[in-house]
Structure 1
Amino acid sequence: MEFLTDYAGFLLKLVSVAIVIGVLLAMIANGKRKSQPGSLSVTKLNENYDAMKDDLDRQLLDKKTLKSQLKEKKKQEKLDKKANKKAPKEIEETPKKRLYVLDFDGDIKASAVTSMREEITAILSVATAKDEVVVRLESGGGMVHSYGLAASQLQRIREANIPLTICVDKVAASGGYMMACVANKIIAAPFAILGSIGVVAQVPNVHRLLDKSLIDVELHTAGKYKRTLTMLGKNTDEGREKFKQDLEDTHGLFKRFVSEQRPQLDIEDIATGDTWYGREALENKLVDDVMTSDAYLVAQYKDSEVVQVSYKQPKGMAERFGLSVFSAFEQKAVTWLGKLTQSRGF
């Protein structure tokens, strides 16, 4: 029994030392990570599409038909090459329209904006007015300031006079729709969820529980409205009214932004916090067309060079050593913290 006790004590010390070392290493790695640049990845989707088509042909066609098809393809390539040589220099040097594809998968903090801002900067350095940027957007909204920044990043594309198309396959609600409305054209899948032009905030209050347990909480502020509502202290009617007024003011800013981007909307009718599916959203002028992002991109392959641009952040120590559980825990903690604080959210 004494041996087991000693052994348990030894294991506890070992685990404690391992945790301390792990935390120190993580702090060092995090510092290095901030100084390391990420990497930009470019994938030519036309080539991927052609490769899949060729693979399917090889699986389905008999040898004779496949051989004939390949022969015809090579013949056509030779003819195209010959025609290009004979073409006037002006036509030959005219580049093909390029369509840049970005993906934005939004959480409560709009964390994906960290990569998206780099992707947009890279695209704007080479794109021309005849090109197009397509963003495949998925987000149910989140913090006001975070999605305000994300929408502002998309505005950089519009300000550069480059056509911007937003494709929504699942959801672009609240802050997500705030981003989508910046586009020249919004395309949504038939059952994608759009809208939710409203503002929400909730604050749990445990003052009565603490009071019952004889636990005092002191809250000191400098400024009348520095803290309108609190989780631990006693809230006042004046604080509640100010908090609700702040929500109304934020909602007003939200409505003004959406109406400026899409003046065809009847903003008072749709800015109720309600949501609509794709086809209903089209009827309410929240979107411009109903189709999936896949259908839209495939239709562009023939006449455009379609490239997917992705900026990868440098991996931290947790990811490098496969300790993704720590990253997942951190993300979950941030999500719950956002829900428990009085931060206003779209």
Structure 2
Amino acid sequence: MNDWLQDYALFFAQALTLLAMLAVVMVLINRGRGEGEERAQLRIEELNQRQRKRVRRLKVAAAEPQGRKRLLKGFRRDDKRKHKQQRDDASQANVWVLDFHGDLKASGTSRLAEEVSALLEVVEEGDEVVVRLESAGGLVHAYGLAAAQLDRLREAGVTTRICVDKVAASGGYMMACCADRVQVAPFAVLGSIGVVAQVPNVHRLLKRHDVDVEVLTAGRYKRTLTVLGENTEEGRDKFLADLEHTHELFKRHIAERRPSMDTEQLATGEIWYGREAVEKGLADEVMTSDAYLLSRMQEARVFSVRLEAQKRLPERLGLSLSAGVERGVTRLLEAVDASRWLKR
């Protein structure tokens, strides 16, 4: 019995060693591939075809058993006729659908930039780019860059439409107003055209415990408000002036892209729901993205376009703990920020 246990333990140790060696080799191979190859893949799906398959499955399921064969034959005839029609009608328009789900840092901007660059090479006259946007805003410079990517489509003369099903507030609305048309779901949140900054200060706490903090700067306004040092009225005034300046730039950005909107009246940091937003000029029509794309499928080919990063082996093995923690903290901060305007 003891010999059997020893043999089993030795086999188990050898197996573990072999698995560890294989894991190391795979990590090295994956790292080498990541350094030498493109680590993102463009995925394209024709939404017309996906919708057609789903409808057909429902029709077959609802049909009587004896009529299902007849349905399937009819589907094949429809496919042949549609294929011939598409081959003969080279002028059929295309609708290209992008998705942007924003966080505080607008971390999807680099992916959006590459998707826009790819589309600019293929869009033709009559085509349309639809962006399904969802964002409660975040850092000014991050969303300024994201909005600039959408401006590239507008400047190239490409018809663009932003679909907001849930929220496009603050930096999210900065992006939304770059499109030719903005459509919203009935209770989507738009607006929050304002600038906010929060800076905690523990100077009095440190002073109470006889802790001195020296904040040394070169330049009068290098540091206006600090976390550890003693803040001054001059620093507060400059900090507020900077916020007002950023707000003015935000309002100018919107006024240039939606001239019919009363920016001064609406740039108060307030939010409005879908129908209210249309009435006040922040959006153009009330409709969900699904309803709009379904209507476009009757006359155009609709493609979903998404650039997907190829996951490395450590991520597939669950070794992305730090990224998970960062996402959790980011979502917590977003929830705290959204609580300013979220109506319950």
The answer, yes or no, to whether TM exceeds 0.5 is yes
* Contact residue 103 and residue 334 of structure 2 kept, 8 A: no
The one-letter code of the counterpart of 2:296 is Q
**For the residues of structure 2 that align with 1:310 and 1:339, how far apart are their CA atoms?**
26
The within-5 A match list for 1:5-154 is 32=34, 36-77=38-79, 92=88, 94-154=90-150
Contact 1:194 1:276 in 2 (8 A): yes
Shift of 1:331: 2.8
2: CA distance, partners of 1:221 / 1:336 = 33
Separation of aligned partners in 1, 2:218 and 2:334: 24
Report the AA paired with residue 291 of structure 2.
Answer: A
Instruction: Name the CA distance, whole Å, in 2 between partners of 1:83 and 1:34.
Output: 43
Q: Distance in 1 between matches of 2:189 and 2:39?
A: 36
Please list the CA deviations of residues 133-175 of structure 1 after superposition, one character each: whole Å capped at 9, or x if unmatched. Answer: 0000000000000000000000111111110000000000000
Structure-2 separation of matches of 1:211 and 1:265? 50
Separation in structure 2 between the aligned mates of residue 108 and residue 68 of structure 1, nearest angstrom = 54
Q: Which residue of 1 aligns with 2:341?
A: none
Unaligned runs of 5+ in 1: 1-21, 86-91, 341-346
Q: CA deviation at 1:32?
A: 4.8
The match for 2:326 is 330
Question: Equivalent of 2:205, from 203, 209, 221?
Answer: 209
- Is contact 2:60-2:71 (8 Å) kept? no
* Deviations 1:35-78, CA, capped at 9 Å, x for gaps: 74311111111111011111111211113343333334444555
Aligned residues: 310
CA, structure 1 residues 128+186, in 2 after alignment: closer, same or farther (shift >3 Å)?
A: same
- What amino acid is aligned across from residue 70 of structure 2 in structure 1? S
Distance of 1:203 and 1:150 partners within structure 2: 25
2:252 equivalent in structure 1: 256
Q: Distance in 2 between matches of 1:235 and 1:156?
A: 42
SS of equivalent to 2:105? coil
Is residue 286 of structure 1 aligned with residue 276 of structure 2? no
Residues in 2 aligned to 1:200 and 1:307: alpha-carbon distance in whole angstroms: 38
Aligned twin of 2:304: 308
Residue of 163, 166, 172 corresponding to 1:170: 166
State the match for 1:298 in structure 2. Answer: 294
Match of 1:5 in 2: none
**Contact kept in structure 2, 1:318 and 1:326, CA below 8 Å:** no
Change (3 A) 1:338 1:61: closer
1:182 paired residue number: 178
Distance, in Å, in 1 between the alignment partners of 2:319 and 2:168 is: 31
Partner of 2:230, secondary structure, is coil
CA distance in 2, matches of 1:265, 1:151: 18
Q: 1:160 to 1:84 in 2, by over 3 A?
A: closer
Secondary structure at the counterpart of residue 241 of structure 2: helix
TM-score by length of structure 1 reads 0.82
Q: For residue 320 of structure 1, report the CA deviation from its aligned partner.
A: 2.2
User: Which segment drifts farther, 253-262 or 66-75?
Assistant: 66-75
Q: CA deviation at 1:223?
A: 0.5
User: How many angstroms does 1:84 deviate by?
Assistant: 7.9
What residue number does 2:270 align with? 274
> Cα gap change, 1:327/1:84 in structure 2, threshold over 3 Å: closer, same or farther?
closer
Q: Give the fraction of aligned pairs with identical amino acids, expressed as a percent.
A: 48
RMSD (Å) for aligned C-alpha atoms: 2.8
Q: 1:81 to 1:311 in 2, by over 3 A?
A: closer
CA contact (8 A) 2:127 2:159 kept: yes
Structure 1 letter corresponding to 2:161: T
Q: CA deviation at 1:218?
A: 1.3
User: C-alpha separation between the residues in 2 aligned to 1:164 and 1:267?
Assistant: 21
Question: Bigger CA drift: 105-114 or 50-59?
Answer: 50-59
What is the CA deviation profile of residues 297-322 of structure 1, one whole-angstrom value per residue up to 9, with x for unaligned ones?
11111211111111112335542212
Contact 1:318-1:327 within 8 A present in 2 as well: no
Report the Cα distance in structure 1 between the residues aligned to 2:86 and 2:177, rounded to whole angstroms.
41
Aligned residues of 2:103 and 2:330 also touching (Cα < 8 A) = no
